[in-house]
C-alpha cells in the first residue's frame, strides 16, 4: 500500500453549504484558483442538482482548471447523477460522487427504505454514473453509525458496480478515533486494492482531524476536508490542520500529500475575505494568534531559540514573517508588501484604491488585521475591474 494520501477538498461544496458561507460562481472560481495552487488532488465544486449556481460552478471550474480532478455531488438517483454528468461534460478529469445513507436511523426515519432497497439504489447509481465517467466515488452517508456488516456489504457491492473510491463519512461527527480507525480498517481489509477508502469527518465533538488521522493509520488514502474547517454545523476536518499534522509528525504519520503548504495562509485569508467570517484567532495553523508568543517566559525562550516554543515554522505555511502591525501611519510600501504576503499582486491602480480604503479604515480603527486587508483588496479589485469594464 502506498503512503500517498489524496486530499479531496470540499470547501466549495460542504463548506459552502453552511451558514454565512454561500459563494457566487465568480467567488468559487477565484477560490478554486487558489486551491489549484495549493495542490489539492480533487476539488468538489458543487451539488449540481441543488441549484443553477452549483451546476454552473462545477461546469466552469472543471473547464478552467482541467488539470485538477473535479467532483460533482449527486444523490443516488437518476436525475441527480445525470445532472452531475452534464455539469462535468467539458471536464478532463471528472468524478461523479454519489451518496446514499446506510445507517438504520437514516433508513428508518429519512429514507423509509429497507437495507436491500438502499443497496440496490446505490449499485444502480454507481452503474449509471459509470456510463458517463470512469471515476466514480460512492459515499455511505452516516457510515460511522452504520452496522459494520451491512457497511461492508454495501462497500463490496458498489466497488463491484464500478466505484473506485468508497467514502465512509462520519456525517454527524459522532465517532471517536479508536472506534473509527477500527471501522475503516475493516473496510480497507474487505476491499483490498480494489478501491481507495476515503474518510469525511465532521467536527461536532472536535474530533474531525483526529478521526481522519486514525483512519489514515488504518489504511484510508483519501481525506475529505475544507479550508478553515468550514462546513455543515461545526464544520469538516480542517485541511490545513490534517496536512500539517502529517508534515510535522511524519515520524508518526509517514504519509505524503501533494499540498504546497506555503500556500495555506493565503488560501485561508482569501476564503475569509469571501465568506462572512475568518478562522477563530487561536485556530491552529491559520489563526491570527497561531504563531504569537505573549507570555514573558515563552518570549524569552523563543528569542533564544525558536524551537523552544515553535513546532511549525510559520514560513512553511506562508505566514508572513515579522508581522508588523499595520495602522494609519503605515505607508504604501508596507501595505504593498503585506498584500504580496497575502498572495495578491496588485496593479498600481489597485494598490492606490486599496491604500485609500485602508487609510479610511485605519482612521476609525487601531491595528488592521490581515482579514480586513484581504476584504479591502477584494473590494478594490472588483471596483477597478468595473471601471475598466471587465
Whose Cβ is closer to Mn ion: residue 31's or residue 377's?
31
- Number of residues in the chain: 390
Segment 315-334, which members bind Mn ion (CB under 5 A)? none
Render 306-356 in DSSP notation, one character per residue: GGGT-SS-GGGGTPPSS-PPB-TT--HHHHHHHHHHTT----HHHHHHHHH
**Residues 11-30 vs Mn ion: string with x where CB under 5 A?**
---x----------------
Whose Cβ is closer to Mn ion: residue 14's or residue 371's?
14
Mapped onto helix, strand or coil, the DSSP state of residue 300 is: helix
Of 7-15, 33-41, 254-262, 279-287: span binding Mn ion (CB under 5 A): 7-15
Whose Cβ is closer to Mn ion: residue 14's or residue 350's?
14
203 near Mn ion, judged by CB under 5 A: no
Whose Cβ is closer to Mn ion: residue 176's or residue 369's?
176
Q: How many residues bind Mn ion (CB under 5 A)?
A: 1
Instruction: Judge contact between 231 and 10, C-beta under 8 A.
Output: yes
- For the bound state, the minimum distance from the C-beta of residue 355 to Mn ion, rounded and expressed in Å, comes to 41
- For the bound state, the minimum distance from the C-beta of residue 17 to Mn ion, rounded and expressed in Å, comes to 9
Of 6-14, 40-48, 147-155, 356-364: span binding Mn ion (CB under 5 A): 6-14
Whose Cβ is closer to Mn ion: residue 9's or residue 14's?
14
What are the respective helix, strand and coil percentages of the chain, to the nearest 5? 50, 15, 35
Q: How far apart are CA 324 and CA 345, in angstroms?
A: 19
Render 25-54 in DSSP notation, one character per residue: HHHHHHHHHHHHHHT-SEEEEE-TTT-HHH
Of 8-16, 22-30, 62-70, 361-369: span binding Mn ion (CB under 5 A): 8-16
What is the DSSP secondary structure assignment for residue 197, as one 8-state letter? E
- For the bound state, the minimum distance from the C-beta of residue 224 to Mn ion, rounded and expressed in Å, comes to 8
Tell me which residue has its CB nearest to Mn ion. 14
Burial 141-173 (b: 16+ CB within 10 A, else e): bbbbbbeeebbbebbbbbbebbbbbbbbbbbbb
Whose Cβ is closer to Mn ion: residue 84's or residue 368's?
84
Query: In the complex, which residues of this chain contact Mn ion (CB under 5 A)?
Result: 14
Amino acid at each position: 500500500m502506498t503512503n500517498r494520501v489524496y486530499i479531496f477538498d470540499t470547501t466549495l461544496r460542504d463548506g459552502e453549504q453552511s451558514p454565512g458561507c454561500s459563494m457566487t460562481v465568480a467567488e468559487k472560481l477565484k477560490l478554486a484558483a487558489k486551491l489549484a495552487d495549493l495542490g489539492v488532488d480533487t476539488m468538489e465544486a458543487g451539488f449540481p442538482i441543488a441549484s443553477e449556481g452549483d451546476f454552473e460552478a462545477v461546469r466552469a471550474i472543471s473547464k478552467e482548471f482541467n488539470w485538477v480532478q473535479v467532483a460533482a455531488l449527486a444523490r443516488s438517483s437518476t436525475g441527480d447523477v445525470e445532472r452531475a454528468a452534464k455539469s462535468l461534460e467539458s471536464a478532463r478529469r471528472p468524478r461523479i460522487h454519489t451518496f446514499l445513507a446506510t445507517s438504520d436511523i437514516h433508513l428508518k426515519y429519512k429514507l423509509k427504505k429497507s437495507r436491500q432497497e438502499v443497496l440496490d439504489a446505490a449499485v444502480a447509481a454507481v452503474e449509471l454514473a459509470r456510463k458517463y465517467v470512469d471515476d466514480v466515488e460512492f459515499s455511505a452517508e452516516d457510515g460511522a453509525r452504520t452496522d459494520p456488516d451491512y457497511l461492508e456489504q454495501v462497500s463490496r457491492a458498489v466497488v463491484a458496480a464500478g466505484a473506485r473510491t468508497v467514502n465512509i463519512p462520519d456525517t454527524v461527527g459522532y465517532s471517536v478515533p479508536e472506534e473509527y480507525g477500527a471501522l475503516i480498517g475493516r473496510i480497507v481489509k474487505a476491499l483490498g486494492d480494489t478501491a481507495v477508502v476515503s474518510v469525511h469527518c465532521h467536527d461536532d465533538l472536535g474530533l474531525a482531524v483526529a478521526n481522519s488521522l486514525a483512519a489514515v493509520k488504518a489504511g484510508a488514502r483519501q481525506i475529505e476536508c475544507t479550508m478553515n474547517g468550514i462546513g455543515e454545523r461545526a464544520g469538516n476536518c480542517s485541511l490545513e490542520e490534517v496536512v500539517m499534522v502529517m508534515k510535522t509528525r511524519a515520524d508518526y504519520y509517514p504519509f505524503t500529500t501533494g499540498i504546497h503548504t506555503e500556500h495555506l495562509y493565503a488560501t485561508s485569508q482569501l476564503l475569509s475575505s469571501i465568506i462572512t467570517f475568518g478562522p477563530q484567532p487561536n485556530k491552529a495553523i491559520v489563526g491570527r494568534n497561531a504563531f504569537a508568543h505573549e507570555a514573558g517566559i515563552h518570549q524569552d525562550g523563543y528569542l533564544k531559540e525558536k524551537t523552544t516554543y515553535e513546532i511549525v515554522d510559520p514560513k512553511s505555511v506562508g505566514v508572513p514573517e515579522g508581522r508588523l502591525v499595520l495602522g494609519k501611519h503605515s505607508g504604501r510600501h508596507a501595505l504593498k508588501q503585506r498584500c504580496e504576503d497575502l498572495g495578491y499582486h496588485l496593479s498600481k491602480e489597485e494598490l492606490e484604491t486599496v491604500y485609500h480604503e485602508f487609510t479610511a479604515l485605519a482612521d476609525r480603527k487601531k491595528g488592521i488585521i490581515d482579514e480586513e486587508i484581504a476584504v479591502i483588496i477584494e473590494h478594490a479589485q472588483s471596483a477597478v475591474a468595473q471601471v475598466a469594464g471587465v
